[in-house]
Structure 1
Amino acid sequence: MNMLIIYTHPNHQSLSYAFLEEVIRGSRENAAVHDVKILDLYEEGFNPVLVFNKNKRRRDMHSDPELEVYREQLRWADKIVFVYPIWWGRPPAMLMGYIDQMFASGFAYKDKGKLLPEGLLKGKSVVCISSMKGPALYPLFWLNNAHKILMRKALFQYVGIKQVKFFEFGNMESPRGRQQEKLNKVYRYFKSLAG
């Protein structure tokens, strides 16, 4: 399988970066993973700001030449892995800006005049690895699982991706957060991942 890892954190000394390293390490030790590409949105200088005006229309975003390299990465990937922190109950604005631009009509889905569109990214799968300062059950009990619902239903299912796996780790700034245990869990998952 071809794997695209989309990393979204401005600090390479962060726990998010440690998770990225474990994804890479596990994937490189897995014979089912043919190739791995990494997109570091901050290092890349990705511009998350949407611009629409008389020269740049929203309905043409699926063919914006400035975004073609990113569309090609998504076309190429069998598995898309997102590594990011949870800030204010949701992914960072940088990642949301990427999603706003990349999962555009005409590329990720096609309106068919029905209740739901036709997802154009069928056959791909996603893994989301996120960490947060708050307790592990905070998103479930306080936010009604908003993060997972946003990612799974409002985004991935909408564009035809049905297989979505979450690693959502809480208490990550606590000395009792069992960070190494969680890093090992991610490494083992990617090392044993079937194609």
Structure 2
Amino acid sequence: MYIEVETVIPAELSDPTWRLYTEAFDELRTTAVQRHVMHRDEFDEVLRDQRVLKYLGHDPERAHQLAALATFTNELDTMPLISPDYFAHRWPQLYAEKRIWYIGFFAIHPDCRGSGIFELVIADMWQRVQASDGIAALDICRRNDRIGLARAIHQTLTSLTEGASASRMDEQTYWLYELPARP
């Protein structure tokens, strides 16, 4: 396994990256209330934006298919599904100095989960956070939290930096109110 970090995805990778993204996140369309999956135009815009780092994970045994794709940036206005104002208000100096890093998404092909690509990408991202003396953030829906994503990231980070900590920034729950059953 190896990774490449790019600022722009070449046009010939547009469809393969979209396919990996949708395969990895398609079930979130029906398991999460909040929209977690970008529309194709948003996706293409993020991949064209040079302010966003793109991580391409490769498995030499899968020569013609991507193993992973992730986005990472300290330009928070490039991320269509977050509020940069939240970060600017809470950490004004870090925000102004572009020391808040955000993982837009991290898609791993189902056949490559457990391959080590996750740890390679997270380690590179964390190195950038450390170099800027910054902080890193991402959103994790309840479904992904339940399957251990937050725990896996925390374990990876503490293996790289003893004493690294994690805290929940925000949480949103959705409520449903129903009429009683009719007799």
TM-score (norm 1): 0.34
Greater fraction of residues in helix: 2
